[in-house]
Amino acid sequence: MNALHGSVLSSLGVAIVSGEHPEGSVLNLEGLCQTYGVSRSVAREAVRVLESMGLLASRRRVGITVQPRAQWNVFDPRVIRWRLDGTDRVAQLLSLSELRVGIEPAAASLAAVRATPEQCRQLAAAVSDMEVHGRAGDLEAYLAADQAFHRVLLAASGNEMIASLGDVVSEVLGGRTHHGLMPHHPNPAAIALHEEVARAVRAQDAAAAERAMRKIIDEAAAALSEQLAPQGETPGS
């Protein structure tokens, strides 16, 4: 994907998920070319990708139509990122948090049974990095370590469907950081819970791993509510 195509794709994607182009709107290639200052081939490729995500549909004698949300591939990391960049941010974060409640504790339980020694080592290394970067207040480095932890944990479940959600979880973690919804210094208690998960997985204690992971998600949800409160945004608003 070249930079120009990527720019058009992201701009148009954000415009759709934010409601700037509401459901049922009809677009055309000529208009997109003028709006974004690109060739028909670049605009056509962006439309093709958005069709693959369920955001657009092209039909003869109708044109390029914005699809209802029910048609969107809401698990596509780019769709998640665009929604987090728009006015749908709070609802998207809460929706993703609810998904995590249903998936990650189960993943932790499975990982305690199926994780390889190398995956156990990677979990421990990720926690160590989180501790170092958390103390330093380096949120980008902390994010990278946090994302690595959750990707490894999901993969360690040994379930390919659960493992495929690594990008989804990474996007919600990235969304909190990149939209100012993380404290300047991550909560040490949250890091300690990650260490608790890693230890439980290494000890093959499925119940303890599941319990600690559920606490992580509960802590994240509470922190999110606390960060949104000063902005006048609350769950369900």
Rounded CA-CA distance 194/188 in Å is 10
As given in the structure block, the two tokens for residue 214 are 């559920």
Task: For the domain made up of 77-231, give the CATH fold.
Answer: Four Helix Bundle (Hemerythrin (Met), subunit A) (1.20.120)
Q: State in words which class domain 3-71 has.
A: mainly alpha
pLDDT of 151-192, one tens digit each? 999 999 999 999 999 999 999 899 888 887 777 788 899 999
Q: Which pLDDT score, from 0 to 100, does residue 230 have?
A: 53
Helix (H) or strand (E) holding 64, with range, is strand 63-66
Write the CA distances from 106 to 103, 114, 127, 168, 210, integer angstroms: 6, 12, 20, 16, 6
**Residue type, position 185, single letter:** H
**pLDDT, tens digit, 9 for 90 and up, residues 127-140:** 999 999 999 999 99
CA 197 to chain centre: 21
Instruction: Give the residue-averaged pLDDT of 207-233.
Output: 80
d(CA 213, CA 219): 10
What are the phi and psi torsion angles at 229 (to 5°)?
-55, -45
Q: What would the two tokens of residue 117 be?
A: 């020694």
Q: Where are the domains of the chain?
A: 3-71, 77-231
* Length reported for the chain: 237
Q: Read off the pLDDT of residues 60-116 as tens digits, 9 standing for 90 and up.
A: 888 899 999 999 999 999 999 999 888 778 888 888 888 999 999 999 999 999 999
Percent of the chain surpassing pLDDT 90: 73
> Two tokens at 174?
């990235």
